[in-house]
Structure 1
Amino acid sequence: MIEEFVKNFKELRIKDVESVGGKNASLGEMIRNLYEKGVSVPGGFAVTAYAYKYTMEEAGIDQEIEQILSDLDTRDVHNLAERGEKIRKIIKNTPLPDEVAEEIKKHYKQMEQEYGENVDVAVRSSATAEDLPDASFAGQQETYLNVQGEAELLEKVRECFASLFTNRAISYREDKGFDHFSVYLSVGIQKMVRSDLASSGVIFSIDTESGFQDAVYITGAYGLGENVVQGAVNPDQFYVYKPTLKKGFRPILEKKLGSKEQRMIYGEKGTIQEQVSEEDKNQYVINDNEILTLAKWAMIIEDHYGKP
């Protein structure tokens, strides 16, 4: 099998986790299978774990990183931070091999043809590991929003590669006894949705606190979704009852108004935070029709995967 540096989301399925990580594999799975059922997922592409491995091998920096990590005591947080910073600097300053950079630029140009010049994208890390079934790398690496143009995109891909060695990620692997060089990084490049002009949030097809499987649980706040994901705001919360939604009813069980103090919006470069007005704080970020549409999408996704 010929290894590829970049794959369009449309080429990916959930079985591609080893190549592109869980996040990117799931996006591809939904784009391929759920679009016709009404679930809308923004397009994009994944820089594969092989591209990361190839970049590291071509640069020949594994030994240098190994040296920096030798005799590391993760309980010494200052020393951990110093070593982590040193490793990240090395990787950020390592140019992408021409073959990798050209593939990324080619796929970004295809996105520009679809969405316009200097299309704004989210650049998200998606870690993957071979032969480490017990590993959980969620939230350990970086995400960059409102990235525009080829030069900034290539820079952010390198920064994502470097984020495989955040202090938290180094500490996790050391404490779990995982080999730092058996874990790889894929990068997802996805068209941004202008939720900074409206709202965003997270949906679960189960009540996460009680484990009750007949409810869809939705959170929402103004602006880009990172504030909700990172717990930086107190979002609105909504519960929908699945059995009667399936029968065509409008079963919103509960709505809780969150304080929603701030919103993340586009800045000149990247993103900025702004305060939310009192009037907006006292309104729900989505209406009942939108709540029910989101709940239906959650149920379609749950049915496809066969689990909450």
Structure 2
Amino acid sequence: MQTNNAYIRWFSALSIDDVSLVGGKNASLGEMYRELSAQGVRVPNGFAITAETYRHVLDYAGAWSGLHAALDGLNVADVDDLARRAQLAREIVYGAALPAELVPQITDAYHQLHNEYGEQLTVAVRSSATAEDLPTASFAGRHETYLNITGEARLIESVKRCI
């Protein structure tokens, strides 16, 4: 029983047109799952957490003002200042509490995958920019990836680190 909700989109519901919703990696995985599974190619199922979830987490935590304070006026030519501000921004985002309604949606989806694939299930948790590989910029490889994740606690910790 795969259902999409406010924060989760299953691969079966994603296409390349959903880059702004779930990022390029997830949109491509959804496209492969939808198109190739129908042709008999075994593509693992999965789900994406939407970009709106990221914004909701930061809204819920009241993190925007701290991020603006950390990043407004950034001098990209000052590498030391850039590193300091980036570290502060990471701390603000990582310190943001996940909204209470988000965790069960993620763990419910994980349990659906667990039911589909069994006890040996491991998942990958990856961040995916919604503006990857534009004609004027590329962010490939600049985001977080956690492999062989098992269990709810490790899943939620990985999600927090990707946010």
TM-score using structure 2 length: 0.87
The aligned residue for residue 104 of structure 1 is: 106
Q: Which has the larger share of helix?
A: 2
Q: Distance in 1 between matches of 2:137 and 2:80?
A: 25
Partner residue of 1:45 out of 33, 44, 47? 47
Size of the aligned set, in residue pairs, is 158
Secondary structure at the aligned position of 1:144 is classed as strand
Is contact 2:66-2:92 (8 Å) kept? Answer: no
Q: Distance in 1 between matches of 2:73 and 2:5?
A: 35
- List 4+ stretches of structure 1 deviating above 6 A: none
Cα deviations across residues 84-138 of structure 1 (Å, max 9, x unaligned)? 1111112112121111111101100101111224731111111114xx8755332
Q: Distance in 2 between matches of 1:39 and 1:95?
A: 39
TM-score using structure 1 length: 0.48
Q: Between Structure 1 and Structure 2, whose CA radius of gyration is higher?
A: 1
Q: Distance in 2 between matches of 1:13 and 1:98?
A: 29
Is contact 1:6-1:47 (8 Å) kept? Answer: yes
Unpaired stretches in structure 1, ≥5 consecutive residues: 162-308
**Sequence identity (%):** 49
Amino acid at match of 1:44: G
Give the structure, 1 or 2, with the largest relative contact order (CA under 8 Å, sep 6 or more).
Answer: 2
Q: 1:126 to 1:138 in 2, by over 3 A?
A: same
Unpaired stretches in structure 2, ≥5 consecutive residues: none
Secondary structure at the aligned position of 2:65 is classed as helix
- Confirm whether residue 157 of structure 1 aligns to residue 159 of structure 2: yes
Cα deviations across residues 4-38 of structure 1 (Å, max 9, x unaligned)? 20011111111111111111111111111112324
Q: Which has the larger share of strand?
A: 1
Amino acid at match of 1:137: F
The aligned residue for residue 64 of structure 2 is: 62
Shift of residue 70, structure 1, vs aligned partner? 2.4
- Structural mapping, 1:1-308, within 5 Å: 4-117=6-119, 119-129=121-131, 134-161=136-163
Shift of residue 44, structure 1, vs aligned partner? 0.8
